[in-house]
Structure 1
Amino acid sequence: MSIATIAPPATRRSDFATLSDRIAAAGLTTRRPGYYVARIGLVAGIYIALWAVFVAVGDSWYQLIVAAVLAVAFAQLAFVSHDIAHRQVFRTRRPSEIAGLLAGNLGIGMSYGWWMDKHTRHHANPNHEERDPDVVPDVLVWSTRQAKASRGIPRFLGGAQAYLFFPLLTLEGLSLHVNSLRALARPSLRHRWAESGLLILHFVAYLAVLLLVLSPGKALAFFAIHQALFGVYLGATFAPNHKGMEMPSDDRQQPDYLRRQVLTSRNVRGGHLINTLLGGLNYQIEHHLFPSMPSVNLRRAQPIVRDYCAEIGVPYTEAGLIGSYRQALRYLHEVGAPLRRRRDA
């Protein structure tokens, strides 16, 4: 099952079917090839140009500025890979997989197959305590139930996790690379050899360029700044989308598709700058409802979805960027309360 096919078949009696009709009537599900040619060309051009600047600057501490800007370019390439995985760019699997492998594995050192499997399960059951891999308590806890049952690192960090959240994001880029390499051991990984070859080529080329151009100390500093800011950028983009929203579990009655997606997601308000910085993921509700919709169309879909949710009485959550972080951090602090009480006892 691909990310693009998780939406249920629309029936005329479902709320989602009515909304789908309105979205289709507005022409928002059609492909936008011109937009993606321009966007992918721009991101790829900036990515290549920054590596050219890196070589031109040479063995200098000014490379730390290049590292910071390159972290942004890596994140933007990750957003492109995200859209490719959702079949927003290509309609069929084969060109999507080829482009995804080039952007993900070769471009940023992320296993396209591993990430797509993980993200598909997230879309099918967003924020679900047992089924969404994005809320597994591996380092942080995401519910009071997880906090009470936690062991090891989550138990040790959970009481202060709201304060540690952004510092821990500096490790998110490295975590992505490590999990990608681990995924190569899975026989079930599609195109395992192609994934392995491209990932290894990325890491060998990345480290070789750093060590050939920079002294060891500067190379280590570049690596640390680049990977840390890459992780913070990615984590800060995804954090406002679901953290602090409803968390279903298997002991609760599951809502229908529309409510499952809307009630667990939060939009981030803002203009074109926020839309560019967050890769269109600020329209998280619309993206979850229509994952194969080109991200450039989400802005136009937003008022249709918001008005329809008001019409049928479904809460529709949106906040500014800072407000969304505040809500997410407040929620993380609240769910860590059982661990603080246990430590104080």
Structure 2
Amino acid sequence: MRDSRILSTLKERRLPPVAAKSTPQLVFDACQTGVMLRAVLYVETVIGAALLYVTSDAVDWLLGVALITAAALPATLMWLVLGCSLKHLLGRLPLGWQVAAGVVLGALAGLFACGLMAWLDLVGMFRPGAQAPWLASAVTGMLLAAGLVAGMAWRVRGRTPAATAARLVELQSRIRPHFLFNTLNSAIALVRDEPAKAERVLEDLSDLFRHALSERQDATTLGAELELARRYLDIEQVRFGRRLRVEWSLDERVSGARVPPMILQPLVENAVKHGVEPSPSGAQIRVSTQLRNQSALIKVTNTVPAGQGKSGHGIALGNVRDRLRLLYDLEGGFRTALVKDVYQARIQVPMPKK
């Protein structure tokens, strides 16, 4: 199989031990693109709904939306910029203090919007003779900010149960009885003639169980995930022999990218299940990574028997997509494609900022 580039090969190394540590969870994270888009749409929706109460026709409503947006949009962007700039400081605070900080910044944004309206005389254009609503603007900013921060908190709280449920489903798929039995049978067959190889198979199987059952944070490094995928494919290599042909083309520059735990496991499993198992001649699996525009691209590509395509319910792929969305929102991506009996799953995640 051909790929866009031939990249460096990842060196063999032992998986690092999983360290359990408790750190404050960042809720008020305004740096993500999805959060910014939702914040602007949320504020504009509230403005449009509120103006329905005080306008008589569509022209007045459109004029009101335009005038208030001229002040509300810069204020919203200011709230997002301040929240993003204070991200690391806020991340060290308890949840309650993060919410309070977001609400206070919302009040400041409301006052900023009111100041813009007074400076541009937008209040007089919309309601002649009216005074600048300072108190109302501050309260409105606080309420809007409270809604936005509550949405962020709900999203963060949804990560843990969703990730746990995804891990359980993946665990049921990964440690299937026939996979476990086949691995143990392969090890038993090797004990007499190749005891060292049998020991390596059992060690790899033990690592798979240990990492599947261990408690983890929301994210791990791509390098650790690649090593875990390598161990799984090493086990299957013993079972399938020459039918399983694996190629690695990895870029060390992206090994520090953050990804959800066990995110590659269902992809390499699918490659074995749908590529190698149904084909008498086996299949070729290619795992590649590369750095592109400050993003890490991870591709798992495999050949499939002619005319068979991909079967199954897509549960594992749906879990991959959902977990990436929970971790990175719109900044992460997951795509699959089948072209001329070659199937590819591609993950894209942003690189950590230095």
TM-score range with shorter-chain normalisation? under 0.3
Relative to the length of structure 2, the TM-score reads: 0.25
Is the strand fraction higher in 1 or 2? Answer: 2
Tell me which structure has the larger Cα radius of gyration.
2
Which structure ranks higher in relative contact order (CA pairs < 8 Å, sequence separation ≥ 6)?
Answer: 1
Greater share of helix: 1
